Amino acid sequence: MPDQNTNTPAEIAASSGQTDRGLVRRVNEDAFLDLPQKGLWVVADGMGGHDAGDVASRMIVETLRSTPLEGTLATRMDRIEDAVEQVNQRLLSRSYNEEGKKHIIGSTIAVLVAESRYLGAVLWAGDSRVYRLRSNTLVQLSTDHSQVQSYVRQGIISQEQARTHPERNIITRAVGSQEDLYLEADVCEFSSGDRYLLCSDGLTRHLEDEEISRLLAEGTPQAACRTLIDLTLERGAKDNVTVVVVEIN
């Protein structure tokens, strides 16, 4: 059974998060936070194929769990960025073994933070995504930091070709992978009834945007999480899969 954390509706939003190891991986390297009372939601995907990706993702969520978030949206964003940079430096310091060889311990990150029921922001690094569903229209708010996305941006391949490209798993930005980490960020205005989805790429490698939009709109946030993960498992779930669904009150 998936791990899950379901909170009662807070002033800003009702939300739920679930994660599943999937059907192929031995270890779940994903982690998430679902803290509506704090106005904070996070998905972190430890970098598969590297050493201790689960350590990296857990370090991110536990650090952010204990990070105080008050004041303006800009202040909250600054504190998140500072906390993630601290994790970045800690992971970099652990990236050399006893023989002095470098091995990456890293993780993607996707964050939704709310100042109020009207204003928030998304921050991210890597290919974990943030979507918004508003009036039955699904929009991806984050942009993947990946090799294939850079090809799409340059017009070398199409978005559809990117889904099956042999370099689709190459991440160009992640916590723990570079000295100078920059979280991309964007401010978003909330509207009552908006639904936000934070997810690892274990979801998007199996589900099309049209399917995500349909399932995200159905039932409670908890029910939407469950159906998104269930369909991923039906499709083979080759990776860990994690989803957090947030509905603005």
Tens digit of each residue's pLDDT (9 = 90 or more) over 26-59: 999 999 999 999 999 999 999 855 557 899 999 9
Q: Would you state the pLDDT for residue 2?
A: 58
The answer to whether 41 and 242 have CB atoms below 8 angstroms apart is no
- What percentage of the chain exceeds 90 in pLDDT? 76
Model confidence pLDDT, tens digit, residues 68-95:
999 999 999 999 999 999 999 999 998 7
- The yes-or-no verdict on residue 8 having pLDDT over 90 is no
Model confidence pLDDT, tens digit, residues 109-164:
999 999 999 999 999 999 999 999 999 999 999 999 988 877 878 889 887 788 77
User: Which is it for strands 241-248 and 13-20: parallel, antiparallel or unpaired?
Assistant: antiparallel
What residues contact residue 127 under an 8 Å CB cut-off, 6+ apart? 45, 108, 144, 145, 146, 149, 171, 201
Residue with tokens 């290919």: 127
* Separation between Cα atoms, residue 173 and residue 24, nearest integer Å: 25
CATH number belonging to the domain at 26-234, selected among 3.40.1390.10, 3.60.40.10, 1.10.10.10, 3.40.50.300: 3.60.40.10
- What percentage of the chain exceeds 70 in pLDDT? 92
- The yes-or-no verdict on residue 67 having pLDDT over 90 is yes
Please report the sign of the dihedral spanned by the C-alpha atoms of residue 5, residue 212, residue 144, residue 201. Answer: positive
Q: Would you state the pLDDT for residue 223?
A: 98
Q: Would you state the pLDDT for residue 151?
A: 86
Q: What residue spans define the domains of the chain?
A: 26-234
Please report the sign of the dihedral spanned by the C-alpha atoms of residue 91, residue 2, residue 33, residue 140. Answer: positive
What residues contact residue 202 under an 8 Å CB cut-off, 6+ apart? 22, 30, 45, 232, 237, 238, 239, 240, 241, 242
Q: Would you state the pLDDT for residue 39?
A: 96
**23 or 8, which is more confident?**
23
What residues contact residue 160 under an 8 Å CB cut-off, 6+ apart? none
Q: Would you state the pLDDT for residue 51?
A: 56
The answer to whether 175 and 181 have CB atoms below 8 angstroms apart is yes
Interior angle at CA 176, CA 115 and CA 92, nearest 5:
125
> Confidence band (pLDDT; 50, 70, 90) for 9?
very low
Q: Would you state the pLDDT for residue 163?
A: 76
Model confidence pLDDT, tens digit, residues 188-225:
999 999 999 999 999 999 999 999 999 999 999 999 99
Q: Would you state the pLDDT for residue 154?
A: 86
Nearest to 205 by CA among 49, 1, 22, 3: 22
Least confident of 5-9, 15-19, 179-183: 5-9
pTM of the entire predicted model: 0.92
Q: What is the phi-psi region of residue 112: left when phi exceeds 0, alpha when psi lies from -120 to 50, beta otherwise? A: beta
